[in-house]
Structure 1
Amino acid sequence: MKSISQKMVLGAILSSALITSALAFDAKELAKRSDKGIKKPVMEYKIPDESTIPNNQFGDLVKYGKELTVHTYKYIGPEVKDENMRFAGNNLSCQTCHLDAGTKAYSAPFIGTAAEFPQYRPREDTIGTITDRINGCMQRSMNGKPLPVQSKEMKAFEAYMHWLSQGIPVGGAKMEGRSLAKIDRKMIKQNKADVANGQKVYEMHCLSCHGANGEGVKNEGVANGYTFPPLWGNDSYNKGAGMYRVLKAADFIKSNMPLGATKENPILTDKEAYDVAAFMNQDSHERSEKANRIADFPDDAVKAPDVYRPGKESIEHQFGPFGKIIK
């Protein structure tokens, strides 16, 4: 006959198994909800020639949109002189993640973005617009507040993304480089991210630019951003940002970091990218919280597998292994 303590342990194990099963991410269900009924053509990843930007009001907005992407902190950052224009809560730029003004392949580029919207957004479990998506970044990666929908800045971001998406049909297209290149999913299903090894990777490959404490290298002057951005701390992205998710961060890092890395010629291995992403986003590193983050991904079936909120998801959702989480 089992003791009470044995029964409690068995019950906890069974309960944990049921929770893990209930929280399993279903890629097929996400694909079903995201389906627009439009067959996407295969197209070449192509960056438009800036000499084709028209000399008119639309062209002016496109140029301002690019400038906002590169020097976000200069126009809507927390240090700008006009307090009414302080929409971003940190001194990062959109280009911090969307490299080369949103044109570098495999770095979440803007090429084709405008053609993809409206689209199903699992984080909100609704159909979202490109305006919604931009303001999502403003509140998460930029740790700030939404831009007014009719503001010049919002129109400029939209115009720039629209111009970069020229020639791509409504509904989007299949293009190499359009999305982040994923690290080995078999590896992350079988292995937990190693934070201690991630620290070693950071010290060898990242510290020289991002600093011993992830503080980055800030440019002199006011509202002048960073040469190399902070990876944690109050002037970095908050816990609602995609980069706070370990798999998302690892995918980005593998094809883009350290500087000079590309998908074709990476510097880190998949495991090193996985480990350093975990080190970067570990709880001991100070990072701002995102208000009401608990409301993100209300439907477990399409919740990203690496979304972790203490008390809601098990620790495996933060650092893996993800074998029981991803169907």
Structure 2
Amino acid sequence: MPDNGREMQALIAYVKFVGIGSPEGMRVPGMGLKPLPEPAEQPVTARGEAVYAEFCANCHKVDGQGEKRLQPAIGYTIPPLWGDDSFNAGAGMARLDSAAAYIHDNMPFGIDYQDPVLSVQQAWDVAAYLVSKPRSADPHAGTSAP
């Protein structure tokens, strides 16, 4: 999306609108991911692949490419987890700790963070599997932040 495009301007306006009354420069309770305890064992991609096959492939597909909408130009109903259309190497989900925390509290689809399906170890393992897969490079690598 172009930085100065109409869509970007609309997105910025929306974020500013929903942030009205929020304190600036500080974290608000409930913001971000809940920290996930360290795993009992080092995360292992092979175990993660088995967790993926059991809990994730049904939606994200065996090849990790998710499910496109009926009108492909609109995007995905279920996002791809690796490959060119997935999150890039600079995204938060490309970090093992962020991916594990998100997966534990939100996956498989429909679970509640208060009653997770995956164990802490399973979340770390499947996160290791996902972040080991190929994806687009970080578009900001080697550049200074704006």
**AA at the equivalent of 1:180:** L
The secondary structure found in structure 2 opposite 1:223 is helix
Partner of 1:224: 74
Q: Is the 8 A contact 2:90 2:140 kept in 1?
A: no
How does 1:37-48 map onto structure 2 within 5 Å?
Answer: none
How does 1:8-47 map onto structure 2 within 5 Å?
Answer: none
Q: Is the 8 A contact 1:218 1:225 kept in 2?
A: yes
Partner of 2:137: 289
5+ long unaligned stretches in structure 2: none
When the two structures are superposed, what TM-score results if normalisation uses the length of structure 1?
0.41
Whether 2:108 is the aligned partner of 1:255: answer no
Partner of 1:203: 53
The secondary structure found in structure 2 opposite 1:156 is helix
Give how far 1:172 is off.
3.7
Which structure would you say has the larger RCO, counting Cα contacts within 8 Å and 6 or more residues apart?
A: 2
Give how far 1:174 is off.
3.2
Partner of 2:31: 178
User: Cα–Cα, structure 1 residues 292 and 231, in superposed 2: closer, same or farther, change >3 Å?
Assistant: same
Which has more radius of gyration?
Answer: 1
The secondary structure found in structure 2 opposite 1:227 is strand
User: Cα–Cα, structure 1 residues 156 and 289, in superposed 2: closer, same or farther, change >3 Å?
Assistant: same
5+ long unaligned stretches in structure 1: 1-86, 88-146, 298-327
Partner of 1:157: 11
User: Cα–Cα, structure 1 residues 233 and 261, in superposed 2: closer, same or farther, change >3 Å?
Assistant: same
- Once the two structures are superposed, residues 292-326 of structure 1 have per-residue CA deviations (whole angstroms, 9 ceiling, x without a partner) of 625689xxxxxxxxxxxxxxxxxxxxxxxxxxxxx
User: Cα–Cα, structure 1 residues 197 and 240, in superposed 2: closer, same or farther, change >3 Å?
Assistant: same
Q: Is the 8 A contact 1:195 1:275 kept in 2?
A: yes
Partner of 2:3: 148
User: Cα–Cα, structure 1 residues 241 and 170, in superposed 2: closer, same or farther, change >3 Å?
Assistant: closer
How does 1:107-126 map onto structure 2 within 5 Å?
Answer: none
**AA at the equivalent of 2:135:** R
Question: Could you tell me the percent identity over the aligned residues?
Answer: 37
User: Cα–Cα, structure 1 residues 156 and 292, in superposed 2: closer, same or farther, change >3 Å?
Assistant: closer
Give how far 1:157 is off.
1.4
Q: Is the 8 A contact 1:238 1:244 kept in 2?
A: yes
Q: Is the 8 A contact 1:181 1:263 kept in 2?
A: no
Q: Is the 8 A contact 2:67 2:76 kept in 1?
A: yes
The secondary structure found in structure 1 opposite 2:73 is coil
When the two structures are superposed, what TM-score results if normalisation uses the length of structure 2?
0.86
User: Cα–Cα, structure 1 residues 263 and 222, in superposed 2: closer, same or farther, change >3 Å?
Assistant: closer
Over 4 Å off, 4+ runs = 294-297
User: Cα–Cα, structure 1 residues 242 and 296, in superposed 2: closer, same or farther, change >3 Å?
Assistant: farther
Pairing partner for 2:117 from 250, 267, 280: 267
Matched residues in 1 for 2:84 and 2:120: separation?
A: 28
